[in-house]
Structure 1
Amino acid sequence: MSVIEERVEVHAPVRAVYDQWTQFETFPEFMKGVERVDQVSNTLTHWKTSIAGVEREFDAEILHQVPDERISWTVLSGPKHRGTVSFTSQGTETKVSLRIEFEPEGATEKVGDTLGFVQTRVRGDLSRFKEFIEHRGQETGGWRGEVRPGADPTTR
């Protein structure tokens, strides 16, 4: 299992940054290789990606979500990965910390991981997220519900 940890400071309040991150359907606007994300339910998203000519579709489940603090997920089908994004308020700025654990599949992905291509992609996606929210000046929407292990999520 490989682990990637990246951080970025966003010049926006934590509420706006967190709320934008909950708008999964906007991810293709700043994440390279993500073609579509569908919000199926409060805790389920369906992803379509195309990275280096490899197309994949998979479902991801949100396991833990606390407004303005963190979102944790795992992939239910498809490429094996899980992660957590955390948000820390620093006055008018927000530190976004992303940790992803994944299992590279096949020789090409293993080589790409070894050469740091995956880490570079994640760093670039976080940078584009920062630009996306800072240039917009406000979030495109938000969901303030909580998801706690073993509890029903509040309505989206």
Structure 2
Amino acid sequence: MSTLEEHIDIGVPLETAWECLHRAESYPQFVDGVREARAEGEVTHLDVDAGGRAQEYEIEILDRPQDKVMRWRTTSGPELAGTFSLLPIDGEHTRIQARFEYRPGTITEAFGGPKGFAQASAIERGVRSDLEQFKELVEQGR
């Protein structure tokens, strides 16, 4: 299993970031390739454009609200998992640490694209872009 970790500091209180991260309907606004998302309990359904093909995936979300840690894993489609940890910087700023776990072959099969180092670089750019878009979304919604 390969792991990628990224973080970003955003200009909103921790609770604001936590609430936005849990609004599945906003995922298409900051997660590249997600066309629609809807939550049903602990399961979130994602309609995704994966490698030029429309596909549906389900993810299970497991929260540790006292620690402000959101864990997720796919329950259908490619085997993916990750966590979002929110850390208060001060009353108006939050650091989001994202951890993404994947099998390189699974990513290529499900989404197409490069292999090896090029794939790792593409995934890193994608996660970084998603975090930047989340930052923009949550800061504009204040």
TM-score scaled by length of structure 1: 0.79
Residue 132 (structure 1) aligns with: 137
Structure number having the greater helix percentage: 2
**Rounded Cα–Cα distance in structure 2 between residues aligned with 1:14 and 1:67:** 12
SS in 2 for 1:111: coil
**Rounded Cα–Cα distance in structure 1 between residues aligned with 2:133 and 2:63:** 25
CA-to-aligned-CA distance 1:81-126 (integer Å, 9 cap, x gap): 1111000001110000000101232467472563111110110000
**Rounded Cα–Cα distance in structure 2 between residues aligned with 1:113 and 1:16:** 37
| Structure 2 letter corresponding to 1:66 | P
Residue 24 of structure 1 contacts residue 38 of structure 1 at CA under 8 Å; is this kept in 2?
yes
**Rounded Cα–Cα distance in structure 2 between residues aligned with 1:61 and 1:113:** 28
SS in 2 for 1:35: strand
SS in 1 for 2:114: helix
Structure number having the greater strand percentage: 2
Distance 1:68 1:25, change over 3 A: farther
Residue 69 (structure 1) aligns with: 68
Distance 1:50 1:112, change over 3 A: farther
* Runs of 4 or more consecutive aligned structure 1 residues displaced over 3 Å after TM superposition: 106-110
Residue 118 (structure 1) aligns with: 123
Distance 1:67 1:132, change over 3 A: farther
**Rounded Cα–Cα distance in structure 1 between residues aligned with 2:130 and 2:19:** 17
**Rounded Cα–Cα distance in structure 1 between residues aligned with 2:81 and 2:133:** 21
Residue 140 (structure 1) aligns with: none
- Unmatched segments (≥5 aa) in structure 2: none
Residue 113 of structure 1 contacts residue 119 of structure 1 at CA under 8 Å; is this kept in 2?
no
**Rounded Cα–Cα distance in structure 2 between residues aligned with 1:18 and 1:113:** 34
- Unmatched segments (≥5 aa) in structure 1: 138-156
| Structure 2 letter corresponding to 1:63 | L
Identity %: 27
| Structure 1 letter corresponding to 2:117 | T
Residue 28 of structure 1 contacts residue 36 of structure 1 at CA under 8 Å; is this kept in 2?
yes
TM-score scaled by length of structure 2: 0.87
Give me the CA root mean square deviation.
1.9
Residue 98 (structure 1) aligns with: 98
